[in-house]
Structure 1
Amino acid sequence: MTFKTLAIALALTAVPTLSLAEGCFHGKEKQAMSCATGTTYDSATKSCMPVST
């Protein structure tokens, strides 16, 4: 086998492994909830509710 063939075989083996390693945190990221001015986040309804004073 030539060096070129071995390099291609190595690349084809490594690429799927690297792509799987990149996706380890899929679904574990959390985004902060932000509400408009005059509202607050209600965890019971999981929505923004007007602030009553």
Structure 2
Amino acid sequence: MKLKIAIAAVVMTLGTAALAGPGCGLGHGKQVMSCGEGTVWDAQSQSCVPLTTS
């Protein structure tokens, strides 16, 4: 009886982890940032800055 309970607990734990795995914080790609017209993304300041042309 104890063995059946232990096996059921392991199966439920691994099943939950397998389902949650793809949605966890690990392995996420970078998000795409879009800025308004006339601005571009500046990685250093982590914000949209006016587009300057020289």
Count of residues in Structure 1 that have an aligned counterpart in Structure 2 = 47
Structure 2 alignment gaps of length 5 or more: none
The CA distance in 2 between the partners of 1:43 and 1:14, in whole Å, is 44
* TM-score when normalising by structure 2: 0.55
Which of 20, 23, 30 lines up with 2:21 in the alignment? 23
Aligned-residue offset at 1:50: 0.8
Query: Matched residues, percent identical?
Result: 34
**Which consecutive unaligned segments of at least 5 residues does structure 1 have?**
none
Query: What is the root-mean-square deviation of aligned Cα atoms in Å?
Result: 2.4
Separation (CA, whole Å) in 1 of partners of 2:33 and 2:26: 16
Runs (4+) off by over 6 Å: none
Higher mean C-alpha deviation, range 18-27 or range 35-44? 18-27
Q: Which amino acid aligns with 1:16?
A: T
Q: Summarize the Cα distance change of 1:50–1:27 in structure 2 as closer, same or farther, 3 Å threshold.
A: farther
Q: Corresponding residue for 2:37?
A: 37
Matched, 1:51 2:51: yes
